[in-house]
Amino acid sequence: MSSATSQGARRLKVRPLTQQAFAPFGQVIEARPGESFEINQGSTERYHNLAELEFSGSAARPIINIFRGQAYQDALLALMEYHPYGSQLFMPLNQRPYLVVVAPKGELNEDEICAFLAQGHQGVNYAAGVWHHPLLALEQTSDFLVVDRAGDEANCVEQSLSQFIQLDY
Amino acid sequence: MSSATSQGARRLKVRPLTQQAFAPFGQVIEARPGESFEINQGSTERYHNLAELEFSGSAARPIINIFRGQAYQDALLALMEYHPYGSQLFMPLNQRPYLVVVAPKGELNEDEICAFLAQGHQGVNYAAGVWHHPLLALEQTSDFLVVDRAGDEANCVEQSLSQFIQLDY
């Protein structure tokens, strides 16, 4: 995010987050009706294996973290990032919506940046290499459980945008 | 849980869940004050690497699931279980409290069973081999993000209790 003025910013429309629309970028983590089975003598429904986790590189392993993100204040988006050696999963812990901004793997094409509004029951798992904006909580400071990769290599590549983006939602 | 009457049940007092009290059984997953660092140009606090994940056996890998658990209705506890090949992490997604009932690894000693009241911002990660009761949501049906292990071997061992347990909380 940047505090620059909106002069010259490109506007990008935010769409609802669905598994189908997000498929090129990873998975939506949610309890979809009819896609569970009973465990614990019937007292629990298990929605099984919802993410394609990826961990590569030297001494690669999954780690569990909490990210506490400040709320997005309609500022301008100024950069994107990706993680070459692992997927990164965000699950909201406060049932509040948040924004998801992504672009396909490979050389960043700013015309292919997409924005989604995630509901408070929906997590996302970014596939390794997928461009995404850092966490954009909404309404107020919010916590997310994050499953990502630790290992020997540095695992974050950032790139500034040639033109600021302002989200319409 | 069982629908048997409480006749002959042993009563077990439920204690608050703290990292220190839970340490013999695994980790409490929570955002502890002063244990974070800033990322994303200062807009996010990262509470880093909060769980000791374990995955062993053939084709072992972590998987992400949602468990939707019915609320515990003061029924009697009748069994415990453990997972020999992996840790199992529960993170509440609805900010509601839940019950955690555990016993040390090894042959089950029913006198060593402990019960904790977890708050809605606290997750737990059971170490591999630690005895625990299946999910005990409170108040109403609740969702949890679960990080556990997939692999070739069966990974759940159950044992009936010699005497029912009734929780005091």
Binned at pLDDT 50, 70 and 90, residue A7 comes out as low
Vertex A28: Cα angle to A151 and B70 (nearest 5): 105
pLDDT at A74: 84
pLDDT at A128: 98
Residue B64's CB is within 10 A of a number of other CB atoms, namely 26
CA-based radius of gyration for chain B: 17
Read off the pLDDT of residues B21-31 as tens digits, 9 standing for 90 and up.
999 999 999 99
* Cα(A115)–Cα(B167) distance, integer angstroms: 47
* Cα(A28)–Cα(A25) distance, integer angstroms: 10
> What are the phi and psi torsion angles at A21 (to 5°)?
-70, -30
Binned at pLDDT 50, 70 and 90, residue A66 comes out as very high
pLDDT at A2: 47
Range A121-148 average pLDDT:
98
Long-range CB contacts for residues A41-46, cutoff 8 Å, separation at least 24: A41/B1, A41/B134, A43/B1, A43/B69, A43/B70, A43/B134, A43/B135, A44/B67, A44/B68, A44/B69, A44/B70, A44/B134, A44/B135, A45/B67, A45/B68, A46/B65, A46/B66, A46/B67, A46/B146
Share of chain B above pLDDT 70, in %: 96
Alpha-carbon distance A37 to nearest alpha carbon in chain B (angstroms): 10
- pLDDT of A52 strictly over 50: yes
Read off the pLDDT of residues A103-131 as tens digits, 9 standing for 90 and up.
999 999 999 999 999 999 999 999 999 99
pLDDT at A5: 52
- pLDDT of B158 strictly over 70: yes
- pLDDT of B8 strictly over 90: no
Tell me the count of A-B CB pairs closer than 8 A. Answer: 132
ipTM of the complex: 0.94
A70 chain-B contacts, CB cut-off 8 A? 43-44
* Cα(B133)–Cα(B100) distance, integer angstroms: 7
Read off the pLDDT of residues B95-144 as tens digits, 9 standing for 90 and up.
999 999 999 999 999 999 999 999 999 999 999 999 999 999 999 999 99
- pLDDT of B2 strictly over 60: no
Share of chain B above pLDDT 90, in %: 93
- pLDDT of A4 strictly over 60: no
Q: Would you identify the CATH topology of the domain A3-168?
A: Jelly Rolls (2.60.120)
CB contact A134 to B (< 8 Å): yes
CB contact B75 to A (< 8 Å): no
pLDDT at B74: 83
Range B151-169 average pLDDT:
96
- pLDDT of B1 strictly over 50: no
pLDDT at B128: 98
Range A138-143 average pLDDT:
97
- pLDDT of A93 strictly over 90: yes
pLDDT at B11: 95
CB contact A140 to B (< 8 Å): no
* Cα(B50)–Cα(B73) distance, integer angstroms: 31
